[in-house]
Amino acid sequence: MTFYLNGRFVAREEAVVSVYDHGLLYGDGIFEGIRIYAGKIFRLAEHIRRFYDSAKSILLELPIEPEALEEALQEGVKRYGKDEGYIRLVATRGPGDLGLDPAKCAAPTLFFIVDTISLYPEKFYREGIPVVTASSRRLPADGLDPRVKTLNYLNNIMAKVEAKQAGCIEAVMLNNRGEVAECTADNIFIVRDGILATPAPHCGILQGITRQTVLELAVAEGIAARETVLTRFDLYTADECFMTGSGAEIVPVVRVDGRTIGSGLPGEVTEKLRLAFKKLVGSR
């Protein structure tokens, strides 16, 4: 494990933040989850851009320039010393008082952790997983733009609880119009008649880095793909379904709300994209 806090690498026991930090008290902050493959940081430029876009959106002045942050992350991976891993990059408003006012926070807190990640068991990729639709809705864009990757994940956590209570590991979250948005920590795709489809950004999704990678791979593989509006009906009647995320990569979904998807096994398009993704990250 490697720890970086406010400009320097520290030992684990030094990697602590104040109990007055507004990231802890109010969820006032942003983060990125980034994968390491073959000793290289995957899509680092895209993650850095989204991180700074999120900060700008919430008027959080980051204490480091993008180029310097990239250098620190590269150094962190070097110190970590393993070919495969995961980076959690976090910035908060910093320590302040017990009020909401961000102006009372003297300086932001910035840290990252480089560590291993617990992936899904191999059989989930081989056999697929069931998911359920959660009653907890995705936060509406007119309340908080979902493109901002904030520390406010309570609604996702409650949807995750619903999934666990239903005997699943993931749940599909709908937006306030009843349209499919995303899963609790992953984006979602379906395949129908050979066409790949995923919820469009205006449906209230986080525009995932792995999601974008899959859309690019689809083009390279000659698979028709579109961003559109999906409902539960589209999930139930899909030929294939899968989730994407930095941690999950590409996980087949074979049952939604008790309805079997396609043959009940990972589909041909899903497997084609999964192999293409593995080839891509293995070559970096």
Q: Report pLDDT digits (tens) over 239-274.
A: 999 999 998 999 999 999 999 999 999 999 999 999
Domain 2-115 listed as CATH 3.30.470.10: yes
Residue ranges covered by each domain of the chain: 2-115, 122-282
213 pLDDT more than 90: yes
119 pLDDT more than 80: no
For this structure, is 78 an active site residue? Answer: no
Question: Stretch 218-230: mean pLDDT, rounded?
Answer: 98
Domain 122-282 is classified in which CATH homologous superfamily? D-amino Acid Aminotransferase, subunit A, domain 2 (3.20.10.10)
Strands (E), 210-282: 225-228, 240-245, 249-256, 259-260
The whole-number pLDDT of residue 242 equals: 98
283 pLDDT more than 60: no
The whole-number pLDDT of residue 284 equals: 44
User: What single DSSP character describes residue 38?
Assistant: T
Residues in the chain: 284
d(CA 126, CA 251): 9
Question: pLDDT exceeding 70 applies to what percent of the chain?
Answer: 99
Of 56, 82, 149, 164, which is the active-site residue? Answer: 149
Residue 39: C-alpha distances to residues 1, 8, 42, 213, 276 (Å)? 14, 21, 9, 19, 19
218 pLDDT more than 90: yes
159 pLDDT more than 50: yes
Whole-structure pTM value: 0.94
The whole-number pLDDT of residue 282 equals: 86
